[in-house]
Structure 1
């Protein structure tokens, strides 16, 4: 189940609130300029489907978002616990960073935890199958795929080369809960 836990930066051990209803999650994040939505495939996706098949199943939603926001590129990332570099890939995004462009992720399968550092609060968004999150450009955040990752995501970019993370140097991410497997 998707969820949003909101923490004050001074109390990473205890969230101020925990939300599990789509409308509550979406409206709370919208107040911070973050889009959270649910998409559904127009075609059934078979296990092991290739990137083209995954994109085709969500093409209508992708096209709409690309038109609305001017995204130029789309790709698919699929990662599971058998990946030989899973620990390195996980570590790469566990520190607080930001992008010069929006970070757009749609979860076709599996889950991941986006933690957004906005002002004096951390918004920990557990994204699962069918969840779309759009983290605005410049928003400090970190992402945890868990020790045993399992997810397939569609990513959209403004930059044909993809997004380049700029690390903040703040150790805040180490103080907050990670994705439990």
Structure 2
């Protein structure tokens, strides 16, 4: 279950309904997938073959098709990031720059953990959404944010796209942003 940390106040928001309400107030979609549907040999596995990635997509085909029908996605994939990922430090530097997209950015965490840092509306400022297996989040288009790994530095996630070329990041300069 996701947890939120408001960076300005260090307030923590926990509990499924509290997290959902807060994210809804920020126009961020939050849902939860049943990870127990995934075969045990794919749970907590981070070195995936193409066949295993396809097995993950097939397992969550109903959830993906539901999102496609509601949100107009046209393509999807599975991404895995670990210490063994080639050029992981360069990738993280790229990810850890505040940016926006012309479409929403959506991830469903299958294994491991990830964190979205999102610029909230009004006085909220930036907040962290700490995600674990089963959490699905969709950051609205044109919302300043970035995604990175948590302490365990491992994640497997399903990503969905409207644009067939994937997301294009548009840098967002914000002198008020402070790293955690």
Equivalent in the alignment of 1:176: 179
Task: Count residues in correspondence.
Answer: 170
**RMSD between superposed Cα atoms in Å:** 1.7
Q: Pick one of 12, 18, 39 that aligns with 1:44.
A: 39
Q: Pick one of 76, 79, 91 that aligns with 1:74.
A: 76
Assess, with a 3 A threshold, how the Cα gap between structure 1 residues 45 and 7 changes in structure 2: closer, same or farther: same
Q: What is the CA–CA distance in structure 1 between the aligned matches of 2:76 and 2:160, rounded to whole Å?
A: 4
User: Would you say 1:6 and 2:22 are equivalent positions?
Assistant: no
Q: What is the CA–CA distance in structure 1 between the aligned matches of 2:23 and 2:78, rounded to whole Å?
A: 24
- SS of the aligned residue for 2:5 comes to strand
Equivalent in the alignment of 1:95: 97
Per-residue deviation, 1:148: 5.6
Per-residue deviation, 1:90: 0.6
Unaligned runs of 5+ residues in structure 1 are 9-13
Q: What is the CA–CA distance in structure 1 between the aligned matches of 2:93 and 2:22, rounded to whole Å?
A: 28
Per-residue deviation, 1:45: 4.8
> Which protein has the bigger helix share?
2
Per-residue deviation, 1:147: 6.7
List 4+ stretches of structure 1 deviating above 3 A.
none
- Tell me the TM-score normalised to structure 2 length: 0.87
User: Would you say 1:61 and 2:56 are equivalent positions?
Assistant: no
Answer whether contact 1:96 1:171 (CA < 8 A) is retained: no
